[in-house]
Structure 1
Amino acid sequence: MSLPHSPATVNDQYATGRALPHAAQDRWMRPYRPGPWRVATAALALMLAAYLLLAALIMALAGGASGAVAVLLAALVVIAATLRLLRMGVWLSGKGVRQVGYFGTITVPWARVASVRTAQQPVKVLGLPRTVQGQALLVTRRGGQSLRALLTDHNADFLGRIEAFDIAADAIESWATELR
């Protein structure tokens, strides 16, 4: 018989992907899993990096040191870019909401958040210039300034997964309601 708060029970609760009600809210966590478009792009980029690393090894063994170094650096750039791609998204903690983009990060403390809401508006498909009508999760700061849409139902994490978008948007809205 296991105890209600035994380590096995706690680990089983973490395995479900849901935050525990008593879990510390000091660490940054993503309230959703990366979507299939983001993961597939990262997998292809890492496969390219593996080929580049293999090419660098072959070039180094063949005696082309300068070419091997150049290809090795290219592989490291691809790996770093892929890790940044996987890090993109919305992260929450007890301190605030953090929107991690490819080239920058914006953090807004919960005390400065005026509202978090879902709205119907034109959204970009996979971040490309083409827009379609969709849903976006919007954060408005105190003073009326708003961030760019935190999540959309057509971004790399939620394209084709409307239910996952709804669950993530509800989770972020409930964090905002609880911690503002």
Structure 2
Amino acid sequence: MPLPFLTADRAFDASAADIALPFDDHDRWRRPYRPGPWRVAAAATLLLLASFVLIAGMIIAFAGALSGATACLVLALVVIACAMRLLRMGAWVSRHGVRRVGFFVTKTVPWNRVAAVRTVQQPVKWLGFPRTVQGQALIVVRQGGEAVPPLLTDSNADFLGRREAFDRAADTVEAWGDEYRRH
């Protein structure tokens, strides 16, 4: 059974490795990398928890307590929504700009307001926790010098232990920036 959210786009084929912007439709928002194993594992764990809550809600409904079953259904829907949002987190690019999707906040910077997109060495959060480690981060430098949180880090849930994937994703986002900042 194919799982379209896990399959690779043309960007990840060996034949497309030399193409900077391998997508056909540049108006559509895309994540230029696959979700990492830590992010997928966390979402899968949340979905497993939601299935247990749904089973508990079904048992409660058969026992006759519909208010408890409704509460379980609502809780399961919240957990499923959290898992889906967790999978959508990351950096997204299109012809219109670069978008940093967080759990609660999404911030979009149009390419015409971007001065540079570059990789820097700096302290980064480890898996999003408050603990910081020395690592690499892909940052957007806005015109006017406004601070933007890092788009990608080599210690986040997508790239922890996957240095080559971080380098490839950072190069791809930088290529999108170089292409559309010129226009």
Question: What is the distance in 1 between the residues matched to 2:156 and 2:23?
Answer: 31
- Structure 2 match to 1:78: 79
Q: Which amino acid in the other structure matches residue 29 of structure 1?
A: R
Residue 58 of structure 1: CA displacement?
A: 1.0
* Matching residue of 1:51: 52
Provide structure 1 residue ranges, at least 5 long, that are not aligned to the other structure.
1-11
**Helix, strand or coil: the match of 1:118?**
strand
After superposition, the Cα gap between the structure-2 partners of 1:61 and 1:153, relative to the gap in structure 1 and judged at 3 Å, is: same
Tell me how far 1:22 sits from its aligned partner: 6.7
The whole-number CA distance in structure 1 between the counterparts of 2:109 and 2:132 is 27
Q: Counterpart in 1 of 2:92?
A: 91
Percent identity reads: 63
| Residue 106 of structure 2: aligned partner | 105
Structure ID, larger Rg? 1
What is the match of residue 4 of structure 1? Answer: none
Specify whether residues 43 and 107 from structure 1 end up closer, same or farther in structure 2 by C-alpha distance, changes over 3 A only.
Answer: same
For structure 2, the 5+ residue unaligned runs are: 1-7
The residue type paired with residue 125 of structure 1 is: W
TM-score normalised by structure 2 residue count: 0.88
Q: Secondary structure at the match of 2:33?
A: coil
What letter corresponds to residue 28 of structure 1 in structure 2?
W
TM-score, with normalisation over the residues of structure 1?
Answer: 0.89
Count of residue correspondences: 169
Per-residue CA distance 1:9-65 (angstroms, 9 max, x = gap): xxx974855587471200000000000000000000000000111111111111011
CA distance in 2, matches of 1:141, 1:38: 28
RMSD of aligned Cα (Å): 1.8
| TM-aligned CA distance change 1:130 to 1:31, over 3 Å | same
Question: Secondary structure of the equivalent of 2:74?
Answer: helix
Checking the alignment, whether the CA contact within 8 Å between 1:138 and 1:146 is kept in structure 2 is no
Alignment correspondent of 1:63: 64
What SS does structure 2 have at the residue aligned with 1:164? helix
Aligned residue identity for 1:31: P
Moved over 2 A (4+): 12-22
Q: Is the 8 Å Cα contact of residues 116 and 142 (structure 2) preserved in structure 1?
A: yes
Aligned equivalents of 1:99, 1:109: Cα separation in 2: 12
Residues 10 and 23, structure 2, Cα contact 8 Å, conserved in 1: no
